Structure 1
Amino acid sequence: MIYTVECSFADPVSEAQWNDFYSLEKLPALISVSGFHTSQRFKAISAGCPVYLAMHSIDGLAVLESDEYRQKGGGNFARWQQYITDWHRNLYGGLERAPVIGEGEYLIVSAVGPEPLIEMGLTPEQMWAVALEKCPENRWLAKLDSAISLGANTLPKNVHLYAPMTAQLTGGNGAVPQTQGRNRHAYLTIFIQAQKMPPEANLAELTERCTRLCTDVLQAALDNVHVIYVAARQGRGHPAYAQIKYRLEPFRTPSVMDDFMARLDEAIKRHAGLTARIRCFGYPADTLYARN
C-alpha cells in the first residue's frame, strides 16, 4: 500500500532547516519501522497543491497504528509544528510499491482520471484510498522521463508535477516482501449470463482489479486469491452474480466488507458493463476444510 503525507511550510526563514530535518532524520527513521519498505520525498513544481509530498510503501494501516511507528516515526515535530500547513495523510491500495523517481525524472499525479496522463504518452497506475482522509479518493501516478518536455503551467486542473528531493530509501535489504496474510484466502466467483460474457481483454482487466481488491482490502495473500468466471444459463434475475468466500478475521469488519463490495461493484460495471448481485460469505477458521 502507498502512504502519502502532504503539507506546505509557512516560514521561509526555517524552511531549509526543516527540509534537512525531514530528509536527513525523519525519512531514515520512518524507513527503519517494521512494515515500511520505501520512502521518498518530492516538491511540487506545479501550483494548486501542497508544496511537499512524502510517499511511502507500507504493509497496511496497522503499521501506522503500531507502537514502533509512534516511537520511531521521525522524531519530535514540535519545533516545526506551528509552520506546517495544508497537511494531509492518505493510505492507498492498488500499488504494492511506490515508483522509483530518479534524478532528472518527475512524478506526475492525477486526481481526475488516467486520461490526462495517457494523452501525454504515459502509462498511469491507479491507486484508491482505503484509510485516513480518503481524499482524493482515486489517484493515478506515472513517471515522467527527463526526455519528455512538459511545462507545469500546461497541466490540467488537479494534475500535479513533482520533482524528487531525495533518493528512494528502502528498508532492510530492499527485497519485495511477500504479500501480507500468507494464510488468508479469498475466493471470488462471478457468474455471468453466457450471452453477455465480456471479451477476454475485459476479463483480464477485471481479474487484475479483483485481485487487487482481495489483496489490498481483504489482505489476502496473492497466491491465495482465486477469481473464477462461470458462463451461466440464466433463468431470471440479474445477468451477473458475484460471491466471495473468505475466512472471518477481526479486521474484516462490516465497513471493510461494504467498501470491498462497493469497489467490486464499480469494477464489474466498468469492465463487464453489468450490474451484479454481490454476496459475501465469511466462515470461522475451525469450520473450514480444504485441500490443494
Structure 2
Amino acid sequence: MAKQLAVARSQKGRSPIYWPAWIWVAPALILDLTFFIYPLLYTVYLSFLDKNSIEFVGLRNYQRIFTNATMLEVLKNNLIWLVLATILTVGLGLIIAVMVDRVKVESVVKSALFLPMAISFVAAGVIWRFVYKFDPAGQTQTGLLNAITTLFGGQPHAWLQDPNISNFMLIIVYTWMWAGFCMVILSAALKGIPDEIIEAAKIDGASRFVMFWRITIPMIQGTMAVVVTTMIINILKIFDVVYVMTGGNFKTDVVALEFYNQLFTFSNYGQSSALAVILLITIIPVMYINVRRMKAEEAMR
C-alpha cells in the first residue's frame, strides 16, 4: 500500500500521455519536417557554400548582398515597395471603408473594389501591361494610359521602361489588387464599433475628423495591425507582378525575383540561398510582433 502511494505521489502533477493524439498529429509533423524544417535548414547550409555548393565560403554570399551595387538596388526597391505599397493599400482601404460605411451603395462599391482579388497576380500583370503599353509618338496608342494622355494633348510615355517611375507604376498595380482586401477587413472592424460611442461623440459636438482620429482609429487598431502585417509579409515576397510586367529590368528588380534569377537563370545556389535566408530573417520579426499582439489581445479578453 505504501509503495502504491509513493508511486501515485511521484506521478502527481504529470500530464498524461495521449498516444492516440500523437498518432493524429504525427502526419502533420512529418509533413512539416519534410517540407518546411528540412528545406529551411538545408537552405541555410547552402547559403554558406559557393555557387556549385562545393566549397565553403562563409559569409561571402551575405557580404555580396550588402556590398554589391546591383544587390543594393534590389534591397532599395524592396524598401520602396514596403513603404509605399503598405501606405497605399492600407491607407486607401481605410479611407474607402470609412467613406462608404452605411451608405446605400456600400455593397456595390465594396464588390467593385474587391473584384481584382478574384484574379491572379499574373493575370493582373498582363492586364496592366496593356494599360501601360507604349507606342511611338505619331502612331495609334493601343495602351489605355497613353491613349488618354494623347487625347488631352500630351505625349506618349514608356511608363514601364522609365527607371524613374517604373517601380511606382508597378506599386499602383499591387494597390489596385489589394486595396479592396484591406477595405473589406477594415470595414468589418468599423461595423464592430458600438453605435452608442458614435452617438455620444456626436452629442458632444465632435467633428468627423475628430471622430476619425479619436474614436475610429483607436477602436480598430487591432484589425489595422493585422492588415498592415499581412501587407508587409506579402510585399516582402512580391514577385509575380514584377516578373510578368518588367522581368526585373529598368531598375525594378526585387529580392524574390533576384532569388529566382540567381537560382534558375545563373544556377548560383549559394547566392540564391542567401537571398532566401535574408527574406526569411526579414519576415520573422513581423510574424513575431503579430503573434505577441494577438496573445496580448486574447489575455485582455
The TM-score by the shorter chain falls in which range? under 0.3
Larger relative contact order, structure 1 or 2 (CA cutoff 8 Å, min sep 6): 2
TM-score (norm 2): 0.21
TM-score (norm 1): 0.21
More strand by share: 1
